[in-house]
């Protein structure tokens, strides 16, 4: 597959038929329910609903499963619930998700109606919070850091979860893709904001900065481009790309955009 200076949709296919295109924006997360403590663990359940196409190849709809992105979102939402209960004085919006590590199981999680989310460990070291979360056969390590920045708070309160919804308001287009070899490539990323809701919850204070969730969307698309080029196949002819281990870290904040209020 020869690719040079192209758009990601030209390589991977229709934006509306790709999970890392429109698909992930159609996922809705329920509130965490049946929350309880058991043997020192903090446990709750979440249901995922897909409003429209999750992914499609050759006009065949792919069966949805719990994605890496879903796993991180659910892990952060569980940490949020835990801190609401155990540290109600803490301003959750001041916590930035700085890093994650995901280790997925050998098989995808396809029953999305009652997903158990288990908070195994939670540590605090000064301004940093670390957590380990299990979602069935998926293990997630998170690191969150509190920044004491003098940012203007929104005048009105909101119940819109930043973590669960902010990706719906953003687009990330990969342009000028240049595959230099089987192992090296570069591209430009065009990030656009479709709308600017007022958010609440973990990381919402930093909604003007690109999030680690956004970087996962960007890098996942780029990884698909490189993988299919390496295997000399198209996305439509491939099986679902299953990323078993993923690590990412953001070093500090970059607040260069206009605040959304």
Query: In the 8-state DSSP scheme, what is residue 63?
Result: P
Q: Are 202 and 160 in contact (CB under 8 A)?
A: no
3-state secondary structure 7-55: CHHHHHCCHHHCCCCCHHHHEEECCCEEEEEECCEEEEEECEEECCCCC
pLDDT at 200: 94
Break the chain into its structural domains and give their ranges.
4-148+158-249
Q: Does domain 4-148+158-249 have CATH number 3.40.1390.30?
A: no
pLDDT at 203: 94
3-state secondary structure 198-258: CCECCCHHHCCCCCHHHHHHHHHHHHHHHHHHHHCCCHHHCCCCCCCEEEEECCCCCCCCC
Quick check: pTM over 0.75? Answer: yes
pLDDT at 152: 57
pLDDT at 261: 30
pLDDT at 150: 63
pLDDT tens per residue across all 261 residues of the chain: 444 457 888 888 889 988 899 999 999 999 999 999 999 999 999 999 988 888 887 778 888 999 999 999 999 999 999 999 999 999 999 999 999 999 988 888 999 999 999 999 999 998 999 999 999 999 999 999 998 766 555 556 678 999 999 999 999 999 999 888 777 889 999 999 998 899 999 999 998 889 999 999 999 999 888 887 776 666 665 566 667 789 999 877 765 444 333
Cβ atoms within 10 A of the Cβ of 227, count?
Answer: 14
Pick the closest to residue 46 from 113, 108, 110, 109 (CA basis). Answer: 113
């Amino acid at each position: 597959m020869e690719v040079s200076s192209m758009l990601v949709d030209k390589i991977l296919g229709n934006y509306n038929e790709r999970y890392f295109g429109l698909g992930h924006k159609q996922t809705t997360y329920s509130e965490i329910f049946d929350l309880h403590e058991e043997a020192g663990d903090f446990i709750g359940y979440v249901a995922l609903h897909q409003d429209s196409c999750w992914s499609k190849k050759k006009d065949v709809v792919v069966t949805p499963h719990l994605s890496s992105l879903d796993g991180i979102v659910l892990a952060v939402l569980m940490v949020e619930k835990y801190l609401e209960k155990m540290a109600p004085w803490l301003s959750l919006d001041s916590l930035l998700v700085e890093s994650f590590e995901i280790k997925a199981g050998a098989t995808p999680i396809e029953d999305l109606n009652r997903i158990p989310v288990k908070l195994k460990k939670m540590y605090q070291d000064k301004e940093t919070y670390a957590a380990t979360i299990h979602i069935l056969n998926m293990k997630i390590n998170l690191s969150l850091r509190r920044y004491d920045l003098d940012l203007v708070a929104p005048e009105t309160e909101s119940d819109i979860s930043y973590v669960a919804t902010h990706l719906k308001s953003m687009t990330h287009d990969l342009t000028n893709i240049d595959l230099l070899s089987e192992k090296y490539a570069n591209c430009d990323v065009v990030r656009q904001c479709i709308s600017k809701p007022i958010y609440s919850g973990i990381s919402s204070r930093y909604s003007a900065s690109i999030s680690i969730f956004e970087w996962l969307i960007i890098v996942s698309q780029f990884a698909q481009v490189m993988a299919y080029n390496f295997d000399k196949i198209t996305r439509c002819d491939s099986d679902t790309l299953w990323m078993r281990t993923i690590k990412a870290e953001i070093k500090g904040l970059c607040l260069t955009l206009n605040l959304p209020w």
